Chains A and B, each alone.
Chain A
Amino acid sequence: MDQSLIRNFCIIAHIDHGKSTLADRLIELTGAMRSDEIREQVLDSMDLERERGITIKAKAIRLDYRATDGSIYRLNLIDTPGHVDFSYEVSRTLAACEGAVLVIDATQGIQAQTLANIYLAMEHNLEIIPVLNKIDLPAAEPDRVLEEIDTVLGYSGDSVLMMSAKTGVGVPRLLEEIVKKVTPPVGNVNRPLRALIFDSHYDSYKGVIAYVRVTDGHLSKGDELRLMGQGTEMEVLEVGCFAPDQLPVKVLSAGDVGYVATGLKSVSECRVGDTVTTIESGANDPLIGYRPAKPMVFAGIYPTEADAYQELRESMEKLSLNDASLSYEPESSPLLGHGFRCGFLGLLHLDIVRERLEREFALSLVVTAPGVRYIIHKTDEQVVSVVNPSELPSPTEIEIIEEPWVSISVITPSKFIGALMELIMDSGGVYKRTEYLGHVLLGELGQRVQLEYEMPLRSMLTTFYDQLKSRSQGYASLDYELIGYKDAKLIKLDVLVNGLLVDAFSRIVPPDKAHDVGKMMVAKLKEVIPRQLFQVPIQAAVGSRIVARADIPAMRKDVLAKCYGGDVTRKRKLLEKQKEGKKRMKHIGQVEVPKEAFLGVLKLGA
């Protein structure tokens, strides 16, 4: 196809601002699918995505559009993940496009991820088409939001399209704008092949299917290819486009978006962001610098029943075929048995992996409190990294601890600034900047403000986001970006139950928080561990120093009511139930703890 008739674009938006609904409408209007074929939000094909209203993996679709100038254009829409955990994938998607439709919710205005995404799009020199969505809703405040867009992003009111993706108002005009404003691809079909992998998934028949944007040259079945970053070599089994299901074609040429069936066994051999070229007389330079996405957040994943370990292992293997960002290593804990220490892009990624394991593989899991990767410079000059708190070397062996920091951006009505600043400072945040967005007052909520801070990633992993939401009555939005490692003053806090150290409860905390966190954990354990036949002390300790303690008094009464009219069997059944219950207990030395209680404490934000 003539490259001048191709438009490659994506849609960027904050969560829930209407990206997927808009995609549905574009598909419907261009006739790629009839409206009755469109299951709501076609691009979100995983159940989980549909439920959570987020797009986890980028997908692509080809739309053939007859513009008012009479020509038929080929619009390749590439869907992007909307969540900050996947910002690396977002940036790969952007690199495959020439334009971006920026969707802003007319009821909410600019949010933290709107800004993060637009800055990324600008870095990639994309043509940006700003759109104000949901103008049909009674709560829409187009004037206020337009003013905000003008002040913050510099797009004057008349350059912003007014739209309702739900009703379809404004969508035909958007199609015209895409054709007019987004520049066609400029690659050269005669140059050596260069194609960017912006997504991939594993197919049990065809192996890894790589989603590619061809920049130079062309691709067809039988070609022998090489990944410039990873060095992986493969033969092309099939090429095709998305219409919207995979449709095999003879050739993909410069400017095209499509897929390549590679026969590879795992997506980790064919990672997003790499450049594909031919083995013979290939290109010299990749399209963009390639780096694999690095896990940032770590947690232990264990089967609830110890004998399900094998099943968990197989499930992790299968899941990771489709998720190159997920890392996992076997680990074992005296209390939890065998499991894995897993690395994730962020908390949402962790949640998704957990849910997929539980849902798609029907596993019951124990997930330990999430943590980060610490870099420890030891006194013997060794440098080690620690992702499991119980593996932190003793203080005398530690010269320096480094931990990852993030810069965060919070957008909130000014009314909540005080409460949010307090939360961020309390989480170890360092103030950077405050900026007012627009000049319109939102009644008693005040003006909208962007706060910028830097803080340890560690502090974000427990209740931070929930607190941010609750302290701002749900108004604040958050975006963050890793900025690197910094020296940290941290210690290991242990929990002892009846004198026994329970490794799964160990946490890494700043020294000044040890007392508070210890007190909270001890209190929580006291609440959930049932009384035993003897008194059970629960202690939180830093080294040999006890920082908090609570005692669970011994059980005093466990008697059945009246034995009625010789109903011995019923009493016996109750005792049998009690005996059965004992089998389901986790043992910490002599102390029996119901599994649920145990899990409750592991999840505890501390």
Chain B
Amino acid sequence: MSDAIALYIHFPFCLRKCNYCSFVSYQDKEDDISTYLQAMNREVELRTNGEQVRSIYLGGGTPSLLSPWQIYDVLDIIQSSFLVIHGAEVTLEANPGTIDRHYLEEIRKLGINRLSLGVQSLDDDTLSILGRIHTVVEARDAIEFARDVGFTNVNVDLIYGVPGQSLDNWNWVIEDTIALEPDHISLYPLTLEDGLPLTLAIENEQVPPLDSDIAADQYELAEDCLESSGYIHYEISNWARSGKECSHNMVYWCGGAYIGIGVAAHSYMHGRRCANTSDLDLYLESFYKNRLPIFDLDEYIGRELQVSETIILGLRLSDGIDLHHASDRFGIDLIKRYNRQICELTSLGLLECRGERVALTRRGRLLGNQVFWRFLPDGELGTNE
């Protein structure tokens, strides 16, 4: 892996917050958008050391709320502050309810070469439980427009394990998605935190409870359908046509360096991981004071943690992790150190050894956490500085 970093830009504004969302995003704060963009510009200027950038990812929130002009400005400041390498992957997350053909045409011209569509479902009942602002028709249109205007790398995000959704219904959603021929598909399980509208709806019995067995069935069904349609399952939650794997996310999983710009954005450089404040007002305040935003998190990832994270993140990939290689890198015999865990997990059918590599089994992919926590270091963890 070269020294080039990944660059993440967080845009924390939405027209409406979804019922299941616990990410940092705000609705009804559109008035702050232009100030926010200026603040991000300033952060880029303060933070850059002229690093090489291999990928840019505009995530949110709903970055597709930005006008093409605003996107132009964002990309412009990045390009003048970093060395964006030729052919870098430039992704924009888009909500199908916020875009049209013209918009996509414009942003493609600006250099966005990968579109990640928050489709979430192709079933209107499911979309309404999730509280999405778009319909199935809008989602289909978005994919079609993207193709029409020349996007050759389109991702579709889907959510499985939504209360009340049957396996049959999910089967249609998957088949319909495959028929739309996206280049990349991400499947995320619905995970709810306390106090969210959907959590409350379940508590009030307006919506059936989460059912982990149906969710597991849905995941396995998707695995089968996608594989037989030629998608490569390269990471727990991600499938792609050959060559369309998301290079930005690969940086996270392979332990590469990244810089995050904007509210709540995370960076990992030189063994240090930090996160900007997740408070929008505090973030904007730093801009007025002309200094870097304060951190919610600032930790040094010591060697033990690096070992753990390397294994945990590496195991997310279908190829697993080359323990021999990792042992050499850290100068520790990891095969010996984790012998007990590996034996236990192998006998439970969650892990399999393939030569020097260990990887999750099909069952293990659905039980990833049960595998991962066993590789955490014992005792005191991350050190705050």
| A residues in contact (CB < 8 Å) with B | 533-534, 555-569, 572, 574-576, 578-579, 582
Contacts and interface: CB of A to CB of B under 8 A. Distances in A.
Interface stretch (B129-137, B222-230, B283-291, B370-378): B370-378
A561 B191 contact: yes
B299 interface: yes
Interface in B38-84: 57, 59
Given A556-B213, A559-B237, 19 more contacts: A533-B348, A555-B370, A557-B219, A557-B366, A558-B368, A559-B366, A559-B367, A565-B57, A565-B265, A565-B266, A566-B265, A568-B252, A568-B309, A568-B313, A569-B299, A569-B382, A572-B308, A576-B376, A582-B373
Nearest to A563: B252
Interface stretch (B28-36, B171-179, B267-275): B267-275
A559 B376 contact: no
Contacts of B382: 569, 572
Given A568-B273, A569-B297, A558 B370 contact: yes
Contact of B275 (A556, A567, A572): A567
B369 A558 contact: yes
A256 to B, nearest CB: 64
Nearest to A561: B191
Contacts of B348: 533-534
B8 to A, nearest CB: 5
Interface in B354-385: 363, 365-370, 372-374, 376, 381-382
A591 to B, nearest CB: 13
Interface string B183-212: 000101111000000000000000000001
Q: Which 9 A-B pairs have the closest CB atoms?
A: A561-B191, A556-B216, A557-B216, A566-B266, A558-B369, A579-B373, A575-B373, A557-B212, A557-B366
Contacts of A574: 369
B1 to A, nearest CB: 15
Given A533-B348, A533-B350, A572-B376, A557 B381 contact: no
Residue from A556, A560, A582 with most neighbouring chain B CB atoms (10 Å): A556
B330 interface: no
A564 B59 contact: yes
B312 interface: yes
Contacts, number: 102
Contacts of B363: 556
A575 B236 contact: no
A533 B370 contact: yes
A320 to B, nearest CB: 41
A572 B365 CA distance: 17
**For the complex, would chain A's binding face be called helix, strand, loop or mixed by DSSP majority?**
loop
A560 B368 contact: yes
Contact of A565 (B10, B216, B237, B299): B10
Given A556-B213, A566-B266, A561 B376 contact: no
A136 B373 CA distance: 66
A557 B252 contact: no
A164 to B, nearest CB: 46
A567 B382 CA distance: 14
Contacts of A556: 212-213, 216, 363, 366-367
B60 to A, nearest CB: 10
Contacts of A565: 8, 10, 57, 59, 260, 264-266
A545 B309 CA distance: 49
A253 B272 CA distance: 85
Nearest to B369: A558
B313 A557 contact: no
A222 B156 CA distance: 95
A445 B190 CA distance: 54
B215 interface: yes
A572 B268 CA distance: 14
B106 to A, nearest CB: 25
Contacts of B338: none
A308 B367 CA distance: 36
A55 B369 CA distance: 54
A557 B59 CA distance: 27
A382 to B, nearest CB: 47
A559 B368 contact: yes
A565 B161 CA distance: 22
Nearest to A577: B373
B12 to A, nearest CB: 11
Contacts of B219: 557
Which one of A556, A564, A566, A578 has the highest number of Cβ atoms from chain B below 10 Å of its Cβ? A566
A578 B373 CA distance: 7
Contacts of B305: 572
Nearest to B192: A561
A109 to B, nearest CB: 43
A572 B301 CA distance: 12
A575 B369 contact: yes
Nearest to B273: A569
A579 B341 CA distance: 13
B231 interface: no
Interface string B1-39: 000001010100000000000010000000000000000
B258 interface: yes
Given A534-B348, A565-B59, A578 B369 contact: yes
A559 B266 contact: no
Contacts of B373: 575-576, 578-579, 582
B312 A566 contact: no
B200 to A, nearest CB: 18
A534 B57 CA distance: 40
A560 B191 contact: yes
15 contacts: A555-B370, A556-B213, A556-B363, A557-B366, A558-B366, A559-B237, A559-B369, A560-B368, A561-B188, A562-B188, A564-B59, A566-B6, A566-B252, A566-B258, A572-B382
A565 B266 CA distance: 7
A566 B367 contact: no
Interface string B248-267: 00001000001010001111
Contacts of B212: 555-557
A592 B5 CA distance: 43
A104 to B, nearest CB: 47
Which has the most chain A C-beta neighbours within 10 Å: B6, B213, B369? B369
Contacts of A578: 369, 373
Contacts of B381: 572, 576
Contact of A579 (B191, B236, B365, B376): B376
Contacts of A569: 266, 273, 275, 297, 299, 382
Contacts of B236: 559
Nearest to A531: B212
Contact of A575 (B268, B350, B372): B372
Contacts of B267: 566
A568 B363 CA distance: 23
Contacts of A566: 6, 8, 252, 258, 260, 265-268
Contacts of B308: 572
A211 to B, nearest CB: 54
Contacts of A561: 188-191
Contacts of A579: 373-374, 376
B160 to A, nearest CB: 10
A568 B191 CA distance: 17
B181 to A, nearest CB: 23
Nearest to B297: A569
Given A575-B373, A579-B373, A559 B189 contact: yes
Contacts of B369: 558-560, 574-575, 578
B18 to A, nearest CB: 13
A568 B256 CA distance: 12
A515 to B, nearest CB: 29
Contacts of B258: 566
B261 to A, nearest CB: 10
Given A563-B252, A565-B8, A578-B369, A572 B188 contact: no
Nearest to A581: B373
A562 B382 CA distance: 22
Contacts of A567: 266, 275
A567 B273 CA distance: 9
